[in-house]
Amino acid sequence: MKWKSIVIGMGLSLTLTGCSWAESLNSFSSDIQTPDVEQEQSSKEKEKTENSEQQKEETPQEENLPAAEEKEVEKKDSDGLTIVNEPKSIQVVVNKQRKLPEGYKPPDLVVPDVPFYFNEFHPKKQMREEAAKALEELFAGAKKNGIDLVAASGYRSYERQKSIYQQNVAERGEKEANQFSAKPGTSEHQTGLAMDVTSAQMAFKLKQSFRQTDEGEWLANHAHEYGFVIRYLKGKSDITGYSYEPWHLRYVGKDISTTIHNQEETLEEFFGLYPSS
C-alpha cells in the first residue's frame, strides 16, 4: 500500500512536471516567435502608411488646381467690326472685318538694323522687337544671296493711318482707295508686325512689278524661312479685301509661316476667318 502511494505520487509529480515543462516550452517558443510576428506586422503597417502617404502626394488636390481660363469672346463695335481681343499676339489677324482696340499701340517698338530708303528717324521705321530681329535675319540672308532689299514702311499709328486713308480717298475716291488702303484701326501696320520692302531697282516705290525683280522673286520664295509671309497674295483679294502686294511682309513666326507658304494660303484661310458675304 505504501509502495502504491509512492508510485502514484511520483506519477503525479512527473505529470505535473511534464505539464510545466510543456508549458515552459510553449512559453519559450512563444517568446521567440512574438518579436518576429510583431516586426512583420509593424513592417506591413509601415509599408501601408508609406503607400498611403505616397498616394496622397501623387493625387492632386482639386482645390489647389487652377481653374480653366475661358477665352474672352471678341466683341463688335457700332459698325459691326470685330474688335480683336489679343492685339499683342504675333498671329493676330487684322483686316476690313477685324480691327484693333481703340488707342492700341504695340509694345517694344524698335528700329531694325536694316537699310531704309531714308536716313532720318521716322516712326514708320519701327517694328515689334521680335519682328525686327527676324527682319534683320531676313535681310542678312538676302544679302548672302546677292539680294539688296530696302525697307520702306513699318509701324503706323492710328492717327497716321487715318491721315493716309483720308488722303487716298480725296485723291482716288473711297471705292478705289478701299482696294489698297486700310481704314484707321484696321491696318496691319498698326500692329508693328508688318514691313513694306522695296529695292533700288524699283526706285524705292511700291508697285506690283516688284515681283518680277530679283528681290521680289527671292522674297516670295524665302520670306517664310524667317517667319514672314506675303500678306496680300495674288488672286486672293476677295478674301483679304486688298489687291496684290508683293512688297508687304507680315511677321507671324516660323511655327506657321512655312505651312501658310506651302499651302499658298492667306491668314484668313489659315485661321478660318473668311469675310462674311
State yes or no: is 174 an active-site residue. no
Question: Is 206 exposed, middle or buried (CB count within 10 Å of its CB: 0-12, 13-18, 19+)?
Answer: middle
E strand residue ranges, 39-143: 75-76, 82-83, 98-99, 109-110, 127-128
- Distance, CA of 248 to CA of 60 (rounded, Å): 50
Q: In this structure, are residues 180 and 167 in contact, taking their beta carbons and an 8 Å threshold?
A: no
**Grid coordinates standing for 93?**
489677324
Cell numbers of 123, please?
516712326
- In DSSP terms, 260 is beta-bridged to none
Contacts of 13 (CB under 8 A, 6+ apart): none
Which one is catalytic: 245, 264, 265, 269? 245
Question: Over the Cα atoms of the chain, what is R_g?
Answer: 41
Write out the catalytic residue numbers: 245
